[in-house]
């Protein structure tokens, strides 16, 4: 009796893992397979610069923005995410960070919610 129950539990575990795996593969969003809220933590070095437009932007912030800026929809989603807002980031200030980093290949003119990346 214990052996059949073990197989039922094992089958159930595989079914759950399979279903979760399929949802994750089909649920690619702005940042690919990584959730936007997880990607937002990568911009932690930008927290102060996203609150104050006169603050210096750190090199580590600019490096992360440059990496993320290769996918403007992801960068935008991260800047407007709940995680960014809960850290005190102001969207109207956050969207200026790529320009403040002097990134030549930044997504100029990209519409980011109610904002346009300068």
Lowest-pLDDT range of 9-13, 30-34, 98-102: 9-13
* C-alpha distances in Å from residue 27, one per residue of 64, 91, 93: 24, 25, 30
- Mean pLDDT for the stretch of residues 27-53: 91
| Residue 46 contacts residue 69 (beta carbons within 8 Å) | no
Closest by CA to 38, choosing from 50, 29, 26, is: 29
Q: Do strands 111-112 and 115-116 pair parallel, antiparallel, or not at all (unpaired)? A: antiparallel
What pLDDT band is residue 2 in, cutting at 50, 70 and 90? low
Q: Would you tell me which CATH number, out of the four given (3.20.20.100, 1.10.110.10, 1.10.3720.10, 1.10.8.80), belongs to the domain 31-116?
A: 1.10.110.10
Phi, psi of 59 (to 5 degrees): -60, -40
Where are the chain's structural domains?
Answer: 1-29, 31-116
Indicate whether this model's pTM tops 0.75: no
In DSSP notation, 72-101 reads: HHHHHHHHTSHHHHHTT--HHHHTTHHHHT
pLDDT digits (tens, 9 = 90+) for 4-28: 443 333 333 333 333 333 344 445 7
Q: Are 79 and 94 in contact (CB under 8 A)?
A: yes
């Amino acid at each position: 009796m214990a052996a059949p129950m073990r197989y039922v539990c094992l089958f159930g575990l595989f079914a759950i893992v399979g279903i979760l795996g399929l949802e994750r593969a089909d649920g690619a969003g702005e940042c690919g397979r990584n959730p936007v809220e997880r990607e937002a933590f990568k911009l932690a070095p930008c927290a102060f610069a996203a609150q104050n437009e006169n603050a210096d932007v750190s090199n580590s912030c600019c490096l992360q923005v440059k990496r993320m800026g290769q996918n403007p929809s992801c960068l935008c989603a991260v800047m407007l995410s709940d995680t960014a807002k809960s850290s005190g980031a102001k969207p109207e200030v956050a969207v200026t960070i790529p320009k403040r980093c002097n990134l030549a290949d930044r997504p100029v003119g990209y519409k980011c919610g109610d904002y346009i990346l300068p």
